[in-house]
Amino acid sequence: MINFRRSAAVLLGLLATTALTGPVPAAADEEQVAEPPRIELVLDVSGSMRAADIDGRTRISVAQQAFNDVVDALPEETQLGIRVLGATYKGKDKKVGCQDTQQIVPVGPVDRSAAKAAVAGLRPTGFTPVGLALRSAAQDLGTGTTTRRIVLITDGEDTCAPPDPCQVARELAAQGTSLVVDTLGLAPDEKVRRQLLCIAGATGGTYTAAQSADELTGRIKQLVERAGDTHTRAPTVVGGTDDCASAPLLAPGVYADRESFSEHRYYRVPVRPGQELRASVSMALDRPVNRDYGVLLRATAADGRELVRGADAGSGRADVLSAGLRWSATADDEATTDDEAAEESPAPVVEPTTVCLVVSNSFAARPGTAATPGMPVELTIDVVAAAGAPDGPDLGRGWVLLVLLTVAGLLTGLIAGLLTRWWVATWREN
């Protein structure tokens, strides 16, 4: 009994080991990132920062302490800049006050003591030109192939619109360099919250309401850390067209584009016979839209015949809506291509099929929602070897099969033995 159990366990173990050696996912190749992570903190130093309502301390002193902690804990490779708004102009002239924004620590390797000294000297003073400060911060961070982050810390709404800070954020995000604005509200009221949510939503950033010094410090540290983790090469910006023939031809990789409401965008991908196309698309909800929405990704042949589609729909609050598809040339397609090629030339050249990808959406704008620039689209494309259908013979597997065969064998043996006994007995009698 014990022996049988043990051997069964050994066999089970062996089987499990072999069965587990399935396909191992290929580790994504580590891509060398040329740039260090770049992040800029934008701090509101307007008059309202004098209010002493966070743990009994003034908002500015809480922010200064948080900045000191963040500068101390800054990872070596991260390049940090600090920009302030409303820090110098004491007058009442709105026109002058709304130009009041300066970079007090340039984006680059941080000199900790100099940065701390610059922050310590800040005194709450003037207006709140958030839009202008965002625009300048984006300039400070420069252009490049990796994602840049801005952390906006403010306690009051913009007092200088136009430009509307939310519209500025959307324009900056659409400019080509990948930019994320994370926002932090210090003891925010309803208007500030709305504005910061809008800025964060437009750029794929986050919004936090900080009610204590610990929360503020913890969150800024987390965002700086996140900037270091996620600044890898940003998707290539591509412009889809409105028909298949003129669509851009894409190699495997990640692409970014913009698509407005009810627009169709076309892209082309060369797929050779024996290859499998994998594509996925995400559309970000970067502005208020009607409650229900959907996104559709279709793969069509050059003549417009649909090959396969991926779709998803949703409702309510979300950041992105995504869909994906796989497609590979069927055996028929492959055979025809091979035959034709063989007839035409002695050395068969297998021409790739060009598959058109069509991205469309069923988002609907709310009254007053701007349609331009379009909503962010992220397209990932991969072309890998196709996997044929399993075509083994009709054999069986499993313990039930073994038991069934054994019982059948046993019964056959018993019947054969009984028949033999009966036959021998009959033969002896005669």
- Scanning residues 379 to 398, which ones bind another protein (CB under 8 A)? 380-382, 384-390, 392-393, 395-398
| Residue span binding another protein (CB under 8 A) among the ranges 44-52, 119-127, 163-171, 270-278 | 270-278
What are the angstrom distances between the C-alpha of 336 and each of 276, 333, 340, 349, 351? 17, 5, 6, 13, 11
Instruction: Tell the smallest beta-carbon distance from residue 107 to another protein (Å).
Output: 21
Task: Specify the pairing of strand 79-85 against strand 38-44.
Answer: parallel
| Near another protein in 100-159, by CB under 8 A | 145
From residue 236, alpha-carbon distances to 56, 248, 316 in Å are: 48, 12, 30
Q: What does the DSSP 8-state code read for residue 49?
A: G
**Nearest by Cα to 31 from 240, 314, 319, 231:** 231
Q: Does 34 bind another protein (CB under 8 A)?
A: no
Q: What is d(CA 7, CA 13) in angstroms, rounded to the nearest whole number?
A: 10
Residue 5: exposed, middle, or buried by beta-carbon count in 10 A (0-12, 13-18, 19+)?
exposed
User: Of 51, 301, 341, 350, which one interacts with another protein (CB under 8 A)?
Assistant: 350
420 lies in the site for another protein, by CB under 8 A: yes
Beta bridge mates, 341: none
We find the least distance from the C-beta atom of residue 97 to another protein, in angstroms, to be 28
Among 322, 341, 362, 374, interactor with another protein by CB under 8 A: 322
Q: Which of 214, 218, 262, 268 is nearest to 241 (CA)?
A: 268
The Cα 182–Cα 164 span in angstroms is 17
Give, as one character, the DSSP assignment of residue 48: G
CB distance 132 to 160 below 8 Å: yes
Minimum CB distance to another protein smaller for 215 or for 334: 215
Residue 375: CB partners within 8 Å, gap ≥ 6?
Answer: 258, 259, 260, 261, 283, 284, 285, 286, 287, 361, 363
Indicate the residue among 163 and 294 with the shorter CB distance to another protein. 294
- Rounded to the nearest whole angstrom, what is the least distance from the CB of residue 89 to another protein in the complex? 29
Q: Does 317 bind another protein (CB under 8 A)?
A: yes
| Backbone CA torsion sign across 122, 128, 130, 132 | negative
Q: Quick one: 316 or 346, whose CB is closer to another protein? A: 316
Spell out where 17-78 has E strands: 38-44
Closer CB to another protein, residue 25 or residue 368?
25
Which residues from 170-199 bind another protein, rule CB under 8 A?
180, 185, 188, 190, 193, 196-197
Nearer to another protein, 57 or 193 (CB): 193
For another protein, which stretch binds (CB under 8 A), given 61-69, 208-216, 338-346, 359-367?
208-216
Q: Which 12-31 residues touch another protein, going by CB under 8 A? A: 12, 14-20, 22-26, 28-29, 31
Interface region with another protein, contact rule CB under 8 A, candidates 45-53, 131-139, 203-211, 337-345: 203-211
Q: Which of residues 212-241 bind another protein (CB under 8 A)?
A: 215, 218-219, 222, 225-226, 229-230, 232-236, 238
Of the candidate residues 282, 337, 360, 361, the single one contacting another protein (CB under 8 A)? 282
Binding mask 241-260 for another protein (x = CB under 8 A): -------xxxxxxxx-----
Please identify, using beta-carbon distances, which residue of 46 and 282 lies nearer to another protein.
282
CB 121 within 8 A of CB 105: no
Which one-letter amino acid corresponds to residue 347?
A
How many binding residues for another protein (CB under 8 A)?
124
- Residue 331 touching another protein (CB under 8 A): no
CB of 183 to another protein, least distance (A): 9
Q: Is 8 in the site for another protein (CB under 8 A)?
A: yes
Query: Measured from the CB atom, is 23 or 56 closer to another protein?
Result: 23
Tell me how far apart the alpha carbons of residues 182 and 193 are, in angstroms, rounded to a whole number: 13
Residue 346 binds another protein (CB under 8 A): no
